Amino acid sequence: MVHHHELERKLKALFGEDNVLCEPEDLLVYECDAETLDTALPDLVVLPGSTAEVQAVVRAAAEHGVPVTPRGAGTGLSGGATTVSGGISLVMTRMSRILQIDPLDSIAIVEVGATNLSVSHAALTHGLYFAPDPSSQVASTIGGNIAENAGGPHCLKYGMTTSHVLGLKMVLPDGNIARLGGRTRSQIGLDLLGVVVGSEGTLGIVTEAVLRLIPRAQAVETMLAYFPSVEACGQAVSDIVAEGIIPAAMEMIDKLTLNAVEDYLHMGLNRDAAALLIVELDGPEIEISVHRKIVEQVVAANKSIGLTWATDDAHRARIWKARKASFGALGRIRPNGYVLDGVIPRSKLATAITRINQIGEKHKLIVANVYHAGDGNLHPCVLYHRDNLEEVHRVVTAGREILELCVELGGTLSGEHGIGVEKILAMSLVFTEADLKAMRWLKNSFDPRGLTNPSKVLPTPKSCGESGGRPLSQHQLMTSC
Ligand SMILES: Cc1cc2nc3c(=O)[nH]c(=O)nc-3n(C[C@H](O)[C@H](O)[C@H](O)COP(=O)(O)OP(=O)(O)OC[C@H]3O[C@@H](n4cnc5c(N)ncnc54)[C@H](O)[C@@H]3O)c2cc1C
């Protein structure tokens, strides 16, 4: 921790004592996000209440040459909000107002500290909702969703966050305000909106967003099915898509996760199953009734050992609870979990699952598997004790091998959690030096002084073995890159 006394005095004068934190016990809360392998204390935490206040922080920090790292709810899973180079953690959660719901244009205008779910709640009275639904949606903010281009179970059919953002207001690293996009889909000029969504807070601080809302579907059908093997379950997923059906969601959990959920919630899940699959169909009633029959046939053809369809909304919510409680339930097995996010072609699902389990066995680690199966996005969760350094080393090595496997199978490093600091050393698995140089040019043109969320996403020569100013356990443990 470095003391920036003059900056601290200036910010406290502007925002009051309550919104500028510098006591060690306060800073500790912000030392990492939900990726707890990498930790680094910020020097100051500032909670702005308006775009003008964000501008004031960015300008004051620039004057003092201090980095600024934006932060939403801190549910990120790649260390994106971790202040690896120290400086200010700029926490956006006070800016949580829903400024407007316009049912005629089907848009919401919000401050980016609003939680994902609060937007859909606000739109509910108009029969509309915000489609991206990360499992963290109760807590995660629209700003974090935009920065990570977040997905969620229903993004299989409706697309990731980028398909639902029409406009942004952002504070640039020099303190000026840029307005990108607008209230309608616009293709005028360079597509900076497309650049900023998914840029992981490295190009500026987003303060407001215009979001596309969509109407609730006429009918929804939700199925839970059990399979005797993960291979059979994976095959059913491929076969459903091969039938020309794009379900709203197709989610899968393995036996270990299923049993952890059952131990936790006592829902009456079938503990004998090797895999559980949730398929949700939505759309016009007539279409859904046809698709329901096809899904049932495919599931039966893949030797399902039981299936049930939700009979009402309460039953549907119970089915979804089995999936949404997965990561929490795994905490009963080990206190820490390292959640990976690799993507593979859907057709390689069964191979990937077998080989991930082999990696777990090789390193004597417990690996639970949760998948957005429909789009080949894997979430292997390696369970461990954070205080056991030798075990942490094996976790990091296994994580790297899982990423290498995804790339080998024709996939990539991340489906929705981003690169952050966690996967920075793996970027060279998928990008050439020329690719990375082009990305660095873009970053430099927004942020020539490198003060906005530094040491994230793009590896620099110094990333080999370290990650910016503060030592990170994961990177210290990687002996080669
Ligand atoms: C239990 C659990 C389940 C999850 N499920 C999903 C899932 O289904 N799908 C999914 O995609 N993710 C999921 N995640 C990951 C995480 O919730 C998402 O990445 C989410 O979008 C992060 O939002 P946040 O507000 O917590 O952002 P943070 O974690 O606070 O920040 C994430 C990144 O956004 C940047 N950022 C935040 N606010 C701004 C801003 N205003 N301007 C510019 N940059 C900003 C930060 O610098 C950082 O790089 C899950 C996480 C957990 C813990």
Break the chain into its structural domains and give their ranges. Answer: 1-216, 219-330, 334-418
Distance 245 CA to ligand 1 centre (A): 30
Is 308 strand, coil or helix?
strand
Note whether 140 and 122 are within 8 A (CB): no
CA-CA distance, 354 to 228, in Å (whole number)?
14
Distance 421 CA to ligand 1 centre (A): 13
* Sequence-ordered list of residues with C-beta below 8 angstroms from that of 22, at least 6 positions apart, any chain: 8, 43, 44, 45
Tokens standing for residue 176? 């000026």
Tokens 């003008």: give the residue. 52
Q: Which of 136, 154, 192, 197 has most ligand 1 atoms within 8 Å of CB, for mutation?
A: 136
Note whether 153 and 133 are within 8 A (CB): yes
Q: Is 417 in the pocket of ligand 1 (CB under 6 A)?
A: yes
Q: Is 144 in the pocket of ligand 1 (CB under 6 A)?
A: yes
Nearest atom of ligand 1 to the alpha carbon of 203: 43
Tokens standing for residue 89? 């953690």
CA-CA distance, 232 to 346, in Å (whole number)?
13
Distance 391 CA to ligand 1 centre (A): 27
Is 182 strand, coil or helix?
coil
In whole angstroms, what separates CA 371 from the centre of its chain?
13
* Residue among 155, 130, 166, 149 nearest 201 (CA): 149
* Residue among 383, 375, 436, 430 nearest 408 (CA): 430
Kind and range of the H or E element at 288?
helix 285-301
Distance 80 CA to ligand 1 centre (A): 8
* Residue among 207, 122, 123 nearest 169 (CA): 207
Distance 385 CA to ligand 1 centre (A): 23
Q: Which of 71, 162, 193, 205 has most ligand 1 atoms within 8 Å of CB, for mutation?
A: 71
Predicted pLDDT of residue 481: 35
Q: Is 147 in the pocket of ligand 1 (CB under 6 A)?
A: yes
Give the CATH number of domain 1-216; options: 3.30.465.10, 3.30.70.1520, 3.20.20.210, 3.40.50.150.
3.30.465.10
CA-CA distance, 468 to 196, in Å (whole number)?
22
Q: Is 341 in the pocket of ligand 1 (CB under 6 A)?
A: no
CATH architecture type of domain 219-330: 2-Layer Sandwich (3.30)
Nearest atom of ligand 1 to the alpha carbon of 147: 34
Reading the chain (481 residues) residue by residue, the pLDDT tens digits are 677 889 999 999 999 999 999 999 999 999 999 999 999 999 999 999 999 999 999 999 999 999 999 999 999 999 999 999 999 999 999 999 999 999 999 999 999 999 999 999 999 999 999 999 999 999 999 999 999 999 999 999 999 999 999 999 999 999 999 999 999 877 788 999 999 999 999 999 999 999 999 999 999 999 999 999 988 998 999 899 999 999 999 999 999 999 999 999 999 999 999 999 999 999 999 999 999 999 999 999 999 999 999 999 999 999 999 998 999 999 999 999 999 999 999 888 888 988 999 999 999 999 999 999 888 999 999 999 989 999 999 999 999 999 999 999 999 999 999 999 999 999 999 999 999 999 999 999 999 999 999 999 999 866 544 445 555 666 555 544 3
Q: Is 446 in the pocket of ligand 1 (CB under 6 A)?
A: no
Is 11 strand, coil or helix?
helix
* Residue among 96, 98, 99, 105 nearest 47 (CA): 96
Distance 356 CA to ligand 1 centre (A): 25
CA-CA distance, 172 to 70, in Å (whole number)?
12
Q: Is 419 in the pocket of ligand 1 (CB under 6 A)?
A: no
Q: Do domains 1-216 and 219-330 have the same CATH topology?
A: no
* Residue among 228, 215, 380 nearest 299 (CA): 228
Note whether 131 and 154 are within 8 A (CB): yes
CA-CA distance, 435 to 95, in Å (whole number)?
36
Tokens 């922080």: give the residue. 57
The type of residue at 387 is D
* Sequence-ordered list of residues with C-beta below 8 angstroms from that of 300, at least 6 positions apart, any chain: none
Q: Which CA distances in Å does 180 have to 131, 186, 192, 195, 439?
A: 21, 9, 7, 10, 20
Q: Is 34 in the pocket of ligand 1 (CB under 6 A)?
A: yes
Question: Which residue lies with its CA nearest to atom 1 of ligand 1?
Answer: 136
Distance 70 CA to ligand 1 centre (A): 11
Predicted pLDDT of residue 480: 41
Biggest CA-to-CA distance, the chain: 69
Fold of 334-418: Alpha-Beta Plaits (3.30.70)
Is 456 strand, coil or helix?
coil
Note whether 100 and 43 are within 8 A (CB): no
Predicted pLDDT of residue 277: 97
Question: Which residue lies with its CA nearest to atom 23 of ligand 1?
Answer: 144
Predicted pLDDT of residue 185: 79
Distance 75 CA to ligand 1 centre (A): 5
User: 405-408: long-range contacts (C-beta < 8 A, 24 or more apart)?
Assistant: 405/342, 405/352, 405/355, 405/356, 405/359, 406/342, 406/343, 406/344, 406/352, 406/378
225: exposed, middle or buried (Cβ count in 10 Å: 0-12, 13-18, 19+): buried
Q: Which CA distances in Å does 283 have to 170, 248, 290?
A: 35, 9, 11
Distance 147 CA to ligand 1 centre (A): 7
* Residue among 118, 208, 198 nearest 163 (CA): 198
Q: Is 48 in the pocket of ligand 1 (CB under 6 A)?
A: no
Note whether 37 and 395 are within 8 A (CB): yes
CA-CA distance, 374 to 417, in Å (whole number)?
17
CB atoms under 10 Å from CB of 436, counted, come to 16
Question: Which residue lies with its CA nearest to atom 21 of ligand 1?
Answer: 145
Distance 67 CA to ligand 1 centre (A): 20
Note whether 372 and 364 are within 8 A (CB): no
Distance 204 CA to ligand 1 centre (A): 16
CA-CA distance, 353 to 447, in Å (whole number)?
40
